Amino acid sequence: MKATQLWFTEDQTPGYKVQWRLREVLHTEQTPFQELAIVDTYDFGKALLLDGIIQVTEKDHFIYNEMITHIPLSAHPNPRRVLIIGGGDGGALRECLKYETVERVDMVEIDEQVVANCEKYLPEIASEFRNPRARLIFEDGLKYIKTVQGEYDVVIVDSSDPVGPAVQLFERPFYEDVARALKDDGLMVCQSESPFFNIDVLRKVVTALRDLFPVVRPYLAVIPTYPSGLWSFTLASKKVDPLAVPRERLKARDTQYYNPDMFYGAFVLPEMVKRAIE
């Protein structure tokens, strides 16, 4: 389907919508889990939509994927086993595999069609699914995490927004399972929504993680395609404090957004966020 005046409207909040002009709708389908679409936008290139919400675009995918991976993998002194829950577009997987110490990345994605379509339409992002160090597991992450204990150095929760079944990925019982799945010096990171529109979600995540981990550090990045542009992640660690990581251990690995200065700077929080989580 092609049209010169084809627009997609994303309802980001009850009072805030964003419109994207499309060159073409490349693919649509109803998977067993969600409505999936691949579209080609004028300003952000091709994009993955799930249930009417843009998940990733060619233009700015690197910001989210670099910040959800390089921060925890740089903080951990020797990341060898990594688990990604979600991440079906493959961007987080690609970034994790840039680390020479990483022996295996397990990616648990509930919807096999997300992987198949991203590999077909977004090959720049989904470029490492066939890497021998990658293991794809098509299963519910909530169920999988209950089956492992003390296995991972880093767990990355690359989830969609807290709507429907994904709500459970933002709650304490799930974080308890993640803590059990980590090794004694392990750490985790999750995306924790917009601190501008969803400060209650960030506060809930930080509060739950503080009950389970001695070190909890929210951090921020600017991602143009996401609501408000300002986005939060939260790192929780059993031992390592990212603010104490020596600079000489940090280096950029073929990145476009992340660098050693960004590692420390991301943890500098605006006053509104500091007050909300205190």
Determine whether the annotation assigns residue 232 to a binding site. no
First vs last C-alpha separation in the chain = 50
* Residue 89 labelled as part of a binding site: yes
Spell out where 193-229 has E strands.
215-222
Cα radius of gyration (the chain) = 18
> Which residues partner with 35 through β-bridges?
30
Q: How far apart are CA 273 and CA 185, in angstroms?
A: 27
Instruction: State yes or no: 109 annotated in a binding site.
Output: yes
The two three-digit tokens of residue 17, written as one number: 């919508």
Strands (E), 65-139: 81-86, 104-108, 134-137
Sheet arrangement for strand 45-50: 2-13, 16-30, 35-41, 45-50, 53-57
- In sequence order, the β-bridge partners of residue 83 are 106, 155
The single residue of 158, 184, 185, 261 carrying the catalytic annotation is 158
- Report the candidate in 170, 157, 161, 187 with the shortest Cα–Cα distance to residue 77: 187
Q: Is 140 annotated as a binding residue?
A: yes
Q: Is 34 annotated as a binding residue?
A: yes
Non-local CB neighbours of 91 within 8 Å, separated by 6+ positions: 56, 61, 62, 64, 65, 125, 126
Cβ count near 273 (within 10 Å): 21
265 is in an annotated binding site: no
Tell me the torsion sign for CA atoms 33, 57, 85, 98: positive
The question of whether 261 is a catalytic residue gets the answer no
The CA dihedral of 198, 202, 82, 51, to the nearest 10 degrees, is -20
161 assigned to a ligand binding site: yes
Residue 254 counted as an annotated binding residue: no
Binding positions for spermidine are 89, 158-161
Binding positions are 34, 89, 109, 140-141, 158-161, 165
Binding positions for S-methyl-5'-thioadenosine are 34, 109, 140-141, 165
Q: Where in the sequence numbering do the catalytic residues fall?
A: 158
